[in-house]
Every structure is written in structure tokens, then in C-alpha cells.
Structure 1
């Protein structure tokens, strides 16, 4: 049996059974390694070697979490919440609930988009923005599963389509890997090739809203509007804005999220927006908040290392396509599903593209597919699984924000909804796009 399928199946089944995701990734990796015949020693070595690749990501998220908490301590988020609550509690509240929902949904969606380019902090905005808004979402009885889908669409759809920030990185990976595999490709072709699949994600978002439109009650949270009448000085606001700008600049200039987050934190202290004596508490709180994500990303890198070491990814692809006997439309579907399986296991579309491009490109060329169709195939197959994977930051991030009060399950309230309303439409529209570009 193919080791990749075994590893991913074990990881997903254990996760659905509510086994800790880190443990599920470890057990899945060992199941895949042993199935491939690597042996226990080789599997352990491969898994251990892969862990180091996740250390930078874990430290980045820890510092970004500290930066987010530092901003939240200034009182600026409370000003935002107080303003929204004023709108909600004015005369004619029942008529304003719809407006408030739209404003909140738009705010979350725009922040998800901007976090990939304008303010490239990725998921670090979630623990800053979502927990305070949960108070309002509880009042409005908004189903948090829709919020999880909304955030994931904003994250994945943006880096797949918009050629800036993380989008520029992803699209450069797609084009460079396709070129390395034997077909000339430009990053400027990626948005064109991905337009139809991204449209599918938006369709899925519409279905998610329809499906989760009914009120869902959560445990009541005591909110006194008077307690939220926060006063924030102009100096603190200006200092925070300066910290954000410098953090963005240093992150772009150095290419390091660690340096960006560190510089932002230090600016807030040097300008007096936060006191030095609060540094240890704030950083500890932020790192603790993001620690789970960090451990999962570290384990996911070990998992990916074992999958690559098995050598079964290429056999999975070739054996599947050999059965198709030149049927291009079915071959495209099979390759998309393989991309889904691989990404679900690894948890990163960025890491999946180099794995599948080496084998997909020659196979697609052999089937007579056009360059745009091949780019669409690689981009969509890479993006598939990012939503729905228990190890993906596109699911771990929303859970980190939505589960601060313990009422949002990572698997059933984030992974299953995002898989249903993002991955399924992405498969359908990605297949349509690939066939269209043939």
C-alpha cells in the first residue's frame, strides 16, 4: 500500500477522533515510514531532521503573537469594539443587527486579505482582532464556523491570486518549480491561471454563509458597554501606527517575520506605548497563545520529511495516471486529488508545490496540456488541502482566535467546514479551469 495514503489517512482519522493534532502528525509519520519499509531508525532520523525546518516558523509565530498582544494592550482594539457596540445598542437595535454583521464580516475579510500583502503578518492578526469581536458575535448569535471559512478564504484566495506579499512568494514558487520541471513559466501567469479556482472559493463562501446563516448560541459573555469606553491617547495611537509601519518595512527589507515582529515590539517600548516592566508578561502571553500553532508546524515539517523520504509520492502519481490511458480530464482530476492528499498531510501549500511540480509537469506535458492549464493544475493542487488540514496555519490561526473561550473545536468547527466549503469548490472549479485552458 502507498505510504503517503497510509500516513495521511492515519493523521486525519486520529484528528477526527479528537486526538491531539501533534500526536496525530507524529503517529501518521511513523505509520507512513514503516509502511514504506524505511524501518524505525530511518523513520525517526528522517522525522527528526525535518523538525528543524519548523523552528523558524514557530519562533516567528511566537514573536508575532507577542506583537499582537502588545498592540491589544494599548486599548486600541477596545476602541473598535466600543464603537461597534454603540451602533448595536442604539435605538432600533433589531434593524441594525444586519448592518453590524456586514461590518464585522467585511472587517474580518479585509484583514484576512491585507494580512497577506498590505500588512504581511499572515495569521498574526487573528489573535489580535478575533477575541474582542467574539463578544459581539455572541450577542448576534453568529455561527463561528462561517467566520473560520471567511478567514480561510481571505488567506488562501489572496496568496493564490494577488501577486504581492505572501502571494508573490507563492506565485514565484509555482512559476519557478514549473520552470525547473521543464516548462517555462512566469509568475505573472499564475493569477490568470488561478482566477477560475479562486472564483470557486468565493462561491463556496456564499454556500457557507447560506448553510451557517441560522443563529447559533454560545455561552453568554458578560459585556458591560460602559466598561468598553476606553480612552487612548493620540501618542499611543501614533506610536502603534509607527510600530506597524516599521515592522512591515523591516519584514520586507530583511525577509524575516522574526525581525519584523521584534522591531515592532521594540518601537512600542521605546516610544512609551508600552512599559518595559510589561515586556515579559506580554511576550509570554503572546507566545503561549501561539505555542500550539508552533508545535503543530514543527511536527508538520517532520511529517513532510518522512513523506518525502518514503519516495512514494512519485509512485502514487505515476500509478494513478497510468490507469487513465491518456484520458486528460480524468487525469487532471486524479492529480488534483493527489495534491489534496499531499497538502492535507503536510499542511502547507507552499511546501506542497515543489513536491508535486517535479512529477505533475512532465505528466501534464505528456497529456498535451497547455502552459496555463499546467500552471492552474500546479497552483490549484498546491492550494488544495491548505483549508481543511489540521496542520495548516490557515485552520490553526482561525481556531486560535475563535476558541479563546473553549467553544470552538479545531477539527469539527474549523477543519471540516473549511474543507467542505473551500476544498470541494476548489476541486470542481480547478478541474473546470484546467479543462478550459487545455
Structure 2
């Protein structure tokens, strides 16, 4: 029962989310299910959820501040210049724009390691452009998620270096030696699967024009900021100061590694430079919370759910039970190990946090049946990444939704999670399985 609690709770979260139950309620129900199945009482489970929420407090706060920063950028009018120029250059070139967005997002993992911080700033001002070009926002979501995942899988720099070092250290702790360049080599094959998924999404699945949805739910003031009719205007001094504030925010985050400090510096700069009047301070923060508050709280609840399945021993029980039933067929073992990785990462919502858990299971099994260190690294890296795309609790899906739903026209589950799950988890699984066999 302990081992199955992870599987059942993830299924509860997935089914409720697909039935359009609010994602916060779905994750909370999954956490309560996991706790009760492991023998904890209702109050003990709630206590674990509440204590675990602190694990994502910094990210949640940074989302709120980034939302407020995004509102000040929209107020400056620079987004009108951006939208009008993109309309002229990209008119009718939907697929090209999606590839450009994927490319920009990719920079956030390695060259300018700011992860999801750019999304609330870049995407809301572009929503009017997406509407006018009739771009399918599901395609934008897949492009953003590609940029948030594929670079760190394949390139050992920035967040990619952290990911590869985590694999290296976790394998070493369990008795297998492998270098970072070797891990990068092993992860090229799974990464190729993500590239295939992106190309399918851009040029096949979401190639056709799609009329924008009716407003789903959003604060009226936030919708006005996100989707207001932008007028072209000459580039002025305030626009230059806005760019300077953005550079300050990115620079501080890059130097300190803190999204909170970066967002705070950018927000304060906009008031100090008088781009936004001081009297609008309360309104800016309120609109930022309206834009990003739900996403921030989802991350807090998701962290609490992850705490339940880890602290109750449910994940370790699943790992131990699985390891005793694998047999000695390499193809079957690789398949089952990837399935376990998918389930665990879907629940925890973090590929980085899942790696040490998976390595404890994978390394002894892979060594016993004769997998090479490269094949073992490919299995661990792929299994850690599986589920990150498509999980309602992952920042790889929450980040894109935070920007795309600023005007209330984008559903987190059906417009972000389902498209990214289909286009990335399936090819990742197949290419990761192939890598384990051929390496």
C-alpha cells in the first residue's frame, strides 16, 4: 500500500486536473490521498503539506514580484513598440515566431540562466500579437517548455551544469563513476527526442491558425494591463530607462542567483527612475498578484504534496518494490525504470530533485545487469526529466501558463500540461529507452 500511494495519488491529481477541477484542489486531494494511504491521519497529512509548502516559498515570492515588474513594464509603453514591430516582421509567420520563442526560452537555461523569470515579463505583452496572428497558444506553451527543459538536458552550462553535476554526484554516491562530458554525450539522444517533439508541435500539431478563446477567469485590471490596445509610439527616454531596469533585474539575478532579488531590484528601479509614479505602487502590486498569485500558490501546494510522498517513505517504498520485480531483460528493465521515473517526477514536479532518488535505485540495478555508465546516465537523466513536462505541479508548465493566461484565455491543464506531456514525454521516453539500449 505504501508503494502504491505514489501511483494512486499522481493518478488522482491527473484525473481531477483533466476533469477541470482547480489544480490547487487537485494537488491538495492528491497529497491527502497519499498521506491517508500511507497510514497517516488527516491532520498529520495536512501538517506535512503545510510544512512542505516552504520549499517553494522563494519561487512563489519571485513570481509575485515578477508579476508586479511585468505590470510596470507594460505601463511604460515599451511593449507597444515591441508588439507593433513584431507584427510587421512576423505577420503570417506563425511557425517562425514559435521557433523564435523556443530559442529565446532556451537562452534562459544556459547563456542567461534566469529560468522562468523572463516569462511574466516577455509573454503578457505579446498576447495581443498572438491574438492578431491567430497563433495557437498551445504551440507557444510547447515552445516555452522546450526552452525550459531541452537546454539543461543537453548542454552542461548554467542550469545544465547543475543538472549534469547532480547526475554525476548521485551516480558516484551509489558506486558508478562518470564525467560531466560523458553525461552530456549520453543526454544528446533523449534531447534529440525533445527536438523532434518541438518540430512536430510547431509544424504539424499547432501550425493552423486558431481564434483566441473567450476569457476564462482573470482580474479585470490585470486583463486590461495584459491585453490593452497598444499604440505605436516613438522610442523615448522612459523606454530606455525601462530597458535599463530590465538589465538591472537580469544582472542582479545572474550575480546573486536569486529571482526574488532580481525582480525586486527591477521593480524598485521602475519607481526610482520615475517610469511609474509612486502613487501607482499599490495598484501595481495588486495587479501583479492578480496576474501571478494563483500560479505562486500552486507551487506552494505542489511543494507540500512532494513533502508528503517523500517524508512518509512512499517514494522509497515504490523504488524498493520496483527493484525487486525487474528481472534481467535489459529492454524490459529500461522500460520499467523510465515508467517509475515518470510517475515520481509527475508527483514531485522537479527533475533536479528527483535525480538523487532515482540514482539510488538505478545505479545498482544497471550495474548488476550490465548497463554501461553512459546508458545508466541516460536512464537517470531521462527518467528525471520525464513528467517534468506535463506535470501540473512543475515550473516547466506553471511558468508558461503564468504568462499565457495573463488575459484569462489559457487553461493550465488542457492548453499547457496536456500538449507538453504529449509532445515531450512520449519522445523523451522513446529516445531515452533507445539510448539505454545503444550506449
TM-score (norm 1): 0.90
Aligned pair 1:212/2:206, yes or no? yes
Q: Distance in 1 between matches of 2:105 and 2:67?
A: 16
After TM superposition, the structure 1 = structure 2 runs for residues 332-371 of structure 1, keeping only pairs within 5 Å, are: 332-371=334-373
Q: Distance in 1 between matches of 2:213 and 2:148?
A: 28
1:436 alignment partner in structure 2: 438
What 5-or-longer segments of structure 2 have no aligned partner?
216-223
Q: Distance in 1 between matches of 2:429 and 2:40?
A: 33
Please say if residues 117 and 259 of structure 2, whose CA atoms lie closer than 8 Å, have aligned partners that are also in contact: no
Q: Distance in 2 between matches of 1:335 and 1:341?
A: 10
Residue 185 of structure 2 aligns to a residue whose secondary structure is helix
Deviation at 1:226, TM superposition (A): 9.4
Residue 73 of structure 1 aligns to a residue whose secondary structure is helix
After TM superposition, the structure 1 = structure 2 runs for residues 39-438 of structure 1, keeping only pairs within 5 Å, are: 39-87=41-89, 97-98=92-93, 101-209=94-202, 210-218=204-212, 228-233=231-236, 235-437=237-439
Please say if residues 193 and 431 of structure 2, whose CA atoms lie closer than 8 Å, have aligned partners that are also in contact: yes
Q: Distance in 1 between matches of 2:378 and 2:403?
A: 32
1:91 alignment partner in structure 2: none
Deviation at 1:356, TM superposition (A): 1.7
Deviation at 1:79, TM superposition (A): 0.6
Deviation at 1:163, TM superposition (A): 2.6
What 5-or-longer segments of structure 1 have no aligned partner?
89-95
Please say if residues 111 and 125 of structure 1, whose CA atoms lie closer than 8 Å, have aligned partners that are also in contact: no
Q: Distance in 1 between matches of 2:165 and 2:37?
A: 34
Deviation at 1:308, TM superposition (A): 0.8
Please say if residues 68 and 125 of structure 1, whose CA atoms lie closer than 8 Å, have aligned partners that are also in contact: no
Please say if residues 289 and 400 of structure 1, whose CA atoms lie closer than 8 Å, have aligned partners that are also in contact: yes
Deviation at 1:339, TM superposition (A): 0.9
Deviation at 1:205, TM superposition (A): 1.5
- Stretch moving more, 269-278 or 1-10: 269-278
Deviation at 1:103, TM superposition (A): 4.4
Q: Distance in 2 between matches of 1:117 and 1:78?
A: 29
Residue 116 of structure 1 aligns to a residue whose secondary structure is coil
Q: Distance in 2 between matches of 1:226 and 1:311?
A: 53
**Per the alignment, do residues 188 and 278 of structure 1 end up closer, same or farther by CA in structure 2, a change over 3 Å counting?**
farther
Q: Distance in 1 between matches of 2:135 and 2:335?
A: 35
Root mean square deviation, CA, Å: 2.4
**Per the alignment, do residues 364 and 258 of structure 1 end up closer, same or farther by CA in structure 2, a change over 3 Å counting?**
same
1:8 alignment partner in structure 2: 10
Deviation at 1:219, TM superposition (A): 5.1
Please say if residues 398 and 412 of structure 2, whose CA atoms lie closer than 8 Å, have aligned partners that are also in contact: yes
Q: Distance in 2 between matches of 1:283 and 1:118?
A: 30
**Per the alignment, do residues 296 and 115 of structure 1 end up closer, same or farther by CA in structure 2, a change over 3 Å counting?**
same
Q: Distance in 2 between matches of 1:39 and 1:316?
A: 21
Please say if residues 326 and 333 of structure 2, whose CA atoms lie closer than 8 Å, have aligned partners that are also in contact: yes
Deviation at 1:429, TM superposition (A): 0.3
